[in-house]
Amino acid sequence: MTIPKKLFQTAKAYDILPGEIKDNIRSLRDLNPDWDYSFFDDAAVKAYLEAHLSPEDWEAVQLVNPRFGVVLADLFRYLVIYREGGVYLDIKSTARKPLTAALDLDCGFVLSQWPNKIGENYVGYGLHPELSDVPGGEFQQWNIIAAPRHPFLQAAVRQVIVNIKSYTPGRFGTDAYGVLRLSGPIAYTRAIYPLLDHFAYQAVDLAQWGIHYSLYGNDGGLQQQHQSAVPGHYSKVREPVVLKEVYVEPPQPVIAKLADLLAKELRDNIGLVLKLAVLSIAATLALVVALVFLAAVAIFR
């Protein structure tokens, strides 16, 4: 499966982008004159999703909180590369050399993870409790590079739709981390990881290929720079990610319920617990003193 020479990017609107982001877009286009470049603003993203999702799925997607437009951007990147093939790059991401020279266009799918070990550029990035079974942590989705109709992206699209339909604040969260679980790299990784042994892909460190996460570099102010570059960044929002009239939270496991009951009993009887603790310590000390006394008696007989 060949990756076509198509490059996609999206942002809320082109006119509000900072100058350095616009310069980066021009640089990407100048560096890749033989690639078709497409920029989608929020309105174009919604139109694309509506055109290519089923009516039922589109109805569910419309429940996404407008303040978390990033969810639609996540779903769009999976869907557009699944249908069209090519390369999706985040609006802040960049390339230092032509994509044709950087990529193996016959590999079918490019899979990348963060260089997140001690001494590497992104220590700790992409390591989530939900992905503890995935060596190296999350699969990056600031880039999506694939031939059309790759099963990994079909799975990612379905995972996001299922997550939206089953969303509750308790299960997914009401902040930026909720987005990671709902549609971002956690959802993306959970969709793809079970399929790795069944379909072709190429695992690479994209930075070594000249494709970089951010034009801002990776200094200490990286996230702040990214967030300030996007007005109304979702990382500042504390609201349900999907808006529903009623949320039906899944039942807690029995073990979790027992743990909650035990914690409540301890809170309600904290005085008794403290008394028992003091008595236990006193008894232990008395036993130690008695043993020391007996040992001393035995020595001096």
Higher pLDDT, 4 or 227: 4
The arithmetic mean of pLDDT across residues 44-51, rounded, is 98
What is the CB neighbour count within 10 angstroms for residue 165? Answer: 15
Q: What is the pTM of this model?
A: 0.81
pLDDT confidence bin for 301, thresholds 50/70/90: low
Cα separation, 81 vs 102, in Å, equals 18
How far, rounded to the nearest angstrom, does the alpha carbon of residue 26 sit from its chain's CA centroid? 28
Q: What average pLDDT does the chain have?
A: 88
- 98, 109 contact by CB (below 8 A): no
Binned at pLDDT 50, 70 and 90, residue 278 comes out as: low
CATH of domain 6-236: 3.90.550
pLDDT value for 220 = 45
Q: Which residues contact 49 (CB under 8 A, 6 or more apart)?
A: 58, 61, 72, 75, 76, 79
Nearest CA-CA partner of 103 in 85, 116, 120: 85
**Do the beta carbons of residue 107 and residue 3 sit within 8 Å?**
yes
Rg for the chain, CA atoms, rounded: 26
Q: What is the pLDDT of residues 164-223, one digit of tens each?
A: 999 999 999 999 999 999 999 999 999 999 999 999 999 999 999 999 999 988 654 545
User: Which residue ranges make up each domain of the chain?
Assistant: 6-236, 254-299
